[in-house]
Structure 1
Amino acid sequence: MDFDIHFSMDHHDKTKGGDDLYNSMVSQAILADELGYASVSMTEHHLLELGVNPAPLTAAVKIAAHTKNIEILTGVVVLPLHDMRSYAGEVVMADIFCEGRLVLGVGRGAYAYEMERLGVPMEETRERFDESLDVLQALLSEEEVSWDGKYYKFEPLTVMPRPLRKGGPRMLMAVLKPEAIYHCTKRGFNILTTPLHGNFKHFQSQVDAFRRAKDEMGAAGEDLTLTVSRGAFIVNDEADKRSKMEMAHEHWQRFDNVFTGPGIVKNGRAVALDNGTTVEEMGENLLICSAEEMVERLMPFHDMGIDRVSINLGFGPCHKDCMQMIRLFAADIMPEFVQPSDKKLAVVT
């Protein structure tokens, strides 16, 4: 099992500019690369301080220019917000600049607030995503592609430049429901998921769906990987733990507002709304604990056969604390799990 550092890119302090936010991202990526993390990742979001990353391909290229080995995941780009005819070329160009270290994570979009203000109703996102993905894969795999679908209609065209490899960069699918995980795995995708506020039984069902699909695929699925995202932080003592848990609780109250709630946003900031979860209940779901407890709580992930854990530490801690967390996790946690044989994410064919 290996590890990813996820940049949630939350702009909590509006007295600081975007330059402060993105410079911190690059510094953390450089450190993660030096310390042997498998990857870093970022998610596309618009119009909100809750995930300020409107251009993850640009971020990936910047990180690639300052690192040597680490994989760079767009976990995820929101396909329904883009025209695949132009976006395919952007993907190819980013993959070239990332020198093959780009992993294109794709999704349908999570926040109705941003999707609908950008002209994509949430009730259309599944259909739009499915067709967009089919168009993107065709454009990255073939020349003189034409299309006659519901959302795309175009005469034969060829995306230029052509990809470094047929089909473009390695791909990863962000998906939550167990049956969707099963079907996406059967299509040959690496999977990124998270149990969110779900219990262990729900988490187990997500993992089982991935394993069931891989088993049915035989040799064709043996290189596919499952990445699980979790909020996590190593704390110094009980006071530090309480402080981090309160940060996380407020963060996920804002997240739930735009993910499953009414989407109340003021001046670009999602309002924290009561989601019925206490600080203590939130702490049970997240990995905010001492280093010793972190190893204990991650061991079931390892035993379940999860390939990669994506650590989301951007729920409120300052840059200095995040840098220290990256160091401590590499020193105290990673040696318990990371093996030299751990796989890179598979190429989707």
Structure 2
Amino acid sequence: MEVGIGMFGDLAVDQNTGKYKDAGIKIREILGQIKLMDDVGIDVFAMGEHHRADYAVSSPEMVLAAAASITKNIKLASGVTVLSSSEPVKVYEDFATLDLISDGRAEIFVGRGSFIESFPLYGYSLNDYEQLFDEKLDLLLKINSEENVTWTGKLRAPMKNQTVYPRAKNNGKLPIWRAVGGTPQSVLSAAKSGMPLIVAIIGGMPVQFKNLIDFYKQEYLAAGHKESEMQIAIHSHTFVSEDQKVIDGYFQNYKSQMDRIGATRGWAPYTKMQYDGGRAKEGALFIGNTNEVADKIAYMKELFGITRFIGHMDVGAPENDIMVKSIELFGGKVAPIVR
């Protein structure tokens, strides 16, 4: 099973100025952290896409390309590419270029995303939310699998016998994962097309997702795809420390981010009870010491049969030194226990 780390590039608020901290400093810290992940044997890194003041990264491809030049083995993925408001040709071109820079280590996680800022930013209508994604995914998969593309949709100009360059290393094909938040229709679509599945489990109890993942397995096989090629991952909030004071203190980072997002979505303020409940064995937070986190990931393998776990590790913008220690523990101790 592969063990990975994901980030969104969360920016903390400077208590002196009341403004978000410098995005350039944050991005340079992320690059140092990715290099460390490669050094300690993390299998994959996923960089999220956001278009907001509280996140540093709007272009994962740029960060991943920079990371490709300072790493050797780690796979480099978007987490996620908000495909509904992206241009599939450009997405393929960017990741094929990343694939060539990294000598075959690029992957794409495609999803609708949990934020909608990119739609008005790029001139798309939310009225086309579903159709945009379906059409663009269809086109991206076609570009990925065919040398010469002829395609027609309703919301984008058609393509007629056109080739997108450069082509990725593996006969032009990139690994493209379908990232979902729990919608059965999305899972069904991924299963029928034979796409690897990554499920975001960031609240409640993971066991609640078992029927959904079983549904994917059933429909994947019913569509005639090989069981040996099935790939399933989960993506969950993660943080590792052997110091209980650090784990207790991380609650404030986590709460600050949950409350900032929750204020725009009508959520009640995040509580310590929720934090402690999420950290329990049945909860969705992979936050604790090395044994606690490793045991919980192993439980996910037992529960779902996952082939990959992505720990989202920068929620609430922990300080760089604390992040570095968490990465060292995750790669140096948690991953070997899990494997």
Query: Would you say same fold, with TM above 0.5?
Result: yes
1:232-251 per-position Cα deviation (integer Å, ceiling 9, x unaligned)? 21234443222112211221
Tell whether 2:330 aligns with 1:333.
no
Secondary structure in 1 aligned to 2:117? helix
* Deviation, structure 1 residue 257: 4.5
Q: Structure 1 pair 200/86, CA: closer, same or farther in 2 (3 Å)?
A: closer
Cα 1:16/1:199, change in 2 over 3 Å: closer
Residue 282 of structure 1 aligns to which amino acid in structure 2? Y
Instruction: Confirm or deny that 1:4 pairs with 2:4.
Output: yes
Whether 1:79 aligns to 2:83 is yes
The answer to whether the Cα contact below 8 Å between 1:176 and 1:193 also exists between their aligned partners in 2 is yes
| Equivalent of 1:55 in 48, 52, 59 | 59
Q: Give CA deviations for 1:204-248 in whole Å, capped at 9, x if unaligned.
A: 223323332344356624222111111121234443222112211
Query: In 2 relative to 1, CA 256–218 (structure 1 residues): closer, same or farther, beyond 3 Å?
Result: farther
C-alpha spacing 1:210/1:48, structure 2 compared with 1 (3 Å): farther
Q: Which one-letter code corresponds to 2:297 in the other structure?
A: L
Question: Is residue 69 of structure 1 aligned with residue 68 of structure 2?
Answer: no
Change (3 A) 1:160 1:274: closer
Residues 283/135 of structure 1: CA separation in 2 closer, same or farther (3 Å cut): same
Q: Which residue of 1 aligns with 2:292?
A: 293
* TM-score, normalised via structure 2 length: 0.86
Task: Count the aligned residue pairs.
Answer: 324
Q: Take 2:41 and 2:207, find their aligned partners in 1: how far apart are those partners?
A: 32
- Is the aligned partner of 1:202 residue 2:202? no
What whole-Å deviation, never above 9, does each CA across 1:158-183 have from its counterpart, x for those lacking one?
22233333453111111122522243
- Relative distance call for 1:187 and 1:245 in structure 2 (3 A) is same
Mapping of residues 1-349 of structure 1, within 5 Å: 1-13=1-13, 14=19, 16-50=21-55, 52-156=56-160, 157-166=162-171, 168-177=173-182, 179=184, 180-216=186-222, 220-257=226-263, 261=265, 274-275=267-268, 277-285=270-278, 286-304=285-303, 305-315=305-315, 316-338=317-339
Q: Offset of 1:82 from its aligned partner?
A: 2.3
Q: Is residue 258–residue 270 contact of structure 2 (8 Å, CA) maintained in 1?
A: no
When the two chains are superposed, the root-mean-square deviation of aligned CA atoms in Å is 2.3
Q: Answer yes or no: is the 8 Å Cα contact 1:256–1:275 preserved in 2.
A: yes
Residue range with higher mean Cα deviation, 187-196 or 143-152: 143-152
Task: Tell me, in whole angstroms, the C-alpha distance in 2 between the residues paired with 1:190 and 1:256.
Answer: 30
Instruction: Tell me whether 201-210 or 242-251 shows the greater mean CA deviation.
Output: 201-210
Cα distance in 2, alignment partners of residues 308 and 211 from structure 1: 15
The one-letter code of the counterpart of 1:232 is T
Q: What is the CA distance between 1:129 and its match in structure 2? A: 1.0
Aligned residues with identical type, % of pairs: 22
Change (3 A) 1:146 1:89: same
Quick check: 2:6–2:313 contact (8 Å CA) kept in 1?
A: yes
The normalised TM-score by structure 1 is 0.84
Instruction: Give the C-alpha shift of residue 139 in structure 1.
Output: 2.6
What code does the residue aligned with 1:36 have?
A: G
Report the CA distance between 1:32 and its aligned residue.
0.9
Gaps (5+ residues) in structure 2?
Answer: 14-18, 279-284
Tell me if the contact between 1:40 and 1:72 (Cα under 8 Å) persists in the aligned partners: yes
Other structure's SS at 2:33 match: helix
Contact 1:137 1:167 in 2 (8 A): no
